[in-house]
Chain A
Amino acid sequence: MADRESTFANPEVIKLLNERFVAVAADDWYERRRDDAVGKFFVGVAIQGPRRGEGGSTRQGIYCFTASGKLLAFRNHRDPGVMLDEFRRALDKFAKLPSDEREPGAVKVPPLDDATLDRQFTRKPPEGAIAVRVFARVLERDEHGNCTACTAGEGESRRGLLSSLDHLWITADEWRSLIPREAKAGDKIAIPAALAERIARFHLVDNTRGEPPMWRREDVRKNALSLTVVEATPNTLKLRLDGEVLLSTTPDVPKSDKIAKNERGYDARLLGYIDIDRRKPAVARFDVVALGDHWGEGTYTRGARPGKTPFGIAFQLADGKHAADVVPPQASRDWGGYLRP
């Protein structure tokens, strides 16, 4: 998250990367574990630098290298100026390589056979699944009690104040089950239990300060989601989602000023609008908001505000226009558990 607002938000960096590099982003948790051609290629690059991965340790950082796998630079720094210098040095090194290492078409990359990929450490959405962007933001209330975005003072870090991003995958069977053969306004439609639990346990999380802990099954104290038909025509089905969710690591909900260390929770209401194009059929809109009070923090999300504080989550159908739209859900590292929570 920090690199998003420092190095990769810098206009010079953006211009340089778009013009002179092929930029790629990857999750080290998968890449360093993959036992296939991709994993071996990556490790071959990484071990030329300081991230040797002893004992399976992290290899995270920012690497510059050639298509043949020759490392040009490695750095893991948040200062855009430092990183710009590193990128320029990498370009200088690249320019000095023999032509068979850098000319267009000079390096021959062998085709990759999908069947040889390490399925344990690669994620692709199931056939026909849809992806939904999931944003989250810590909020505050103004003097009238209205929710607003939190802002940093001059010179203060914006860590934890920016909108975060993850993705929800909904399988074809799940979204198709939302389309009844016959429907009229006022009808209730059942939400698949696995989808309701996936949303609650893996997507109503505070990931604004880092990799979040997911909710355990027993943390779901209440998860009441309902779908109502608002409008039904031969072409369109408009649904409204209402929900009330209580997630808490303790059976009893603590009061705001009595939250013990390691206690976490989120007490929220949901409202959303889901439109179905019945002709295709396809989900045309998936706009949902969760809003309520969150409390506590996880191992990698330290720095939460004390007590219960307003926290919002927004869901939006991914239209495929962002490169990030294909990124798997964070919780899908446990693939089976994600699809059937």
Chain B
Amino acid sequence: MDDKASRSVGSRRRLPNVASIPPEVDAVGFLRRRLCRRSFPSPVVVAAVLFAAACYGPRGDAAEPIAPDKFAALHKLIQPTADESAWLSIRWQTDLWQAREKAATEGKPILLWEMDGHPLGCT
């Protein structure tokens, strides 16, 4: 799947071109100048703001659109392979009472696969 769509999912939204930012507004210089000014908030506030910015950026890394020409391959990729679907070749019943009736009619024992979260769904 050498596709633009899946490549784009991994990419991040582009930041402004650094070359277009004047040197006088670079972050280090800006902070140095601001820290020298009496009106600047305390270093603790600055540190908190920088930390928050580092942890929670603007939504600049949002997912990008899926290319229509790659849709079918992605749709298939996410679905189970034949190897992963072997368990579905068992003729499962999903109603215990109906299974009971069928077992009585056919003279067979019942096997019940009971899980917290339906074994044929949920996960």
**Which residues on A are within 8 Å of B, measured CB to CB?**
1, 3-5, 8-9, 11, 14, 17-18, 20-29, 31, 37-38, 41-42, 45, 58-68, 72, 87, 90-91, 94, 102-109, 112, 135-137, 139, 141, 144-149, 162-167, 207-212, 242, 244, 246, 250, 252-256, 258, 267-271, 273, 287, 289, 291-293, 308, 310, 312-314, 316, 322-324, 326-330
B residues contacting the other copy or chain, number (CB 8 A):
69
Q: Which of B65, B97, B112, B122 contacts A330 (CB 8 A)?
A: B122
B63 touches A144 (CB 8 A): no
B75 touches A287 (CB 8 A): yes
B103 touches A22 (CB 8 A): yes
B117 touches A326 (CB 8 A): no
Kindly list chain A residues whose C-beta atoms are within 8 Å of the C-beta of B123: 1, 164-166, 207-212
B110 touches A163 (CB 8 A): no
- Chain B 75-99 near chain A by CB (<8 Å), digits 1 or 0: 1011111011011111111111101
A24 touches B86 (CB 8 A): no
Q: How far is the CA of A242 from the CA of B94 in the complex (A)?
A: 35
A24 touches B95 (CB 8 A): yes
Q: Does B1 sit at the interface, judged by CB under 8 A?
A: yes
CB of B104 to closest CB in A, whole Å = 4
A136 touches B87 (CB 8 A): no
Kindly list chain A residues whose C-beta atoms are within 8 Å of the C-beta of B116: 27-29, 58, 60, 211
Q: How far is the CA of A291 from the CA of B68 in the complex (A)?
A: 13
- Chain B 106-123 near chain A by CB (<8 Å), digits 1 or 0: 111111111111111111
Q: Which of A59, A94, A242, A255 contacts B109 (CB 8 A)?
A: A94
In the complex, 10 of the A-B residue pairs with CB atoms within 8 angstroms, ordered by the A residue number, are A25-B94, A25-B115, A26-B118, A67-B110, A144-B2, A146-B7, A149-B77, A246-B62, A252-B52, A330-B121
**Which residues on B are within 8 Å of A, measured CB to CB?**
1-3, 5-7, 9-11, 52, 54-57, 59, 61-66, 68, 71, 74-75, 77-81, 83-84, 86-97, 99-123
Q: Which of B3, B57, B71 contacts A253 (CB 8 A)?
A: B57
CB of B85 to closest CB in A, whole Å = 9
CB of A271 to closest CB in B, whole Å = 4
Q: How far is the CA of A59 from the CA of B116 in the complex (A)?
A: 8
Residue of B whose beta carbon sits closest to that of A271:
B66
Kindly list chain B residues whose C-beta atoms are within 8 Å of the C-beta of A11: 86
Residue from the set B64, B78, B92, B96 with the largest chain A CB neighbour count within 10 Å = B78
Q: How far is the CA of A109 from the CA of B106 in the complex (A)?
A: 12
CB of A280 to closest CB in B, whole Å = 24
Residue of A whose beta carbon sits closest to that of B122:
A330
A253 touches B59 (CB 8 A): yes
Kindly list chain B residues whose C-beta atoms are within 8 Å of the C-beta of A104: 104-107
CB of A320 to closest CB in B, whole Å = 12
Residue of A whose beta carbon sits closest to that of B72:
A287
Q: Which of B75, B81, B92, B100 contacts A109 (CB 8 A)?
A: B100
Residue of B whose beta carbon sits closest to that of A83:
B111
B86 touches A109 (CB 8 A): no
Q: How far is the CA of A250 from the CA of B59 in the complex (A)?
A: 13
A312 touches B78 (CB 8 A): yes
The 8 closest A-B CB pairs, nearest first, are: A104-B107, A292-B63, A252-B56, A24-B99, A67-B104, A145-B7, A327-B121, A324-B120
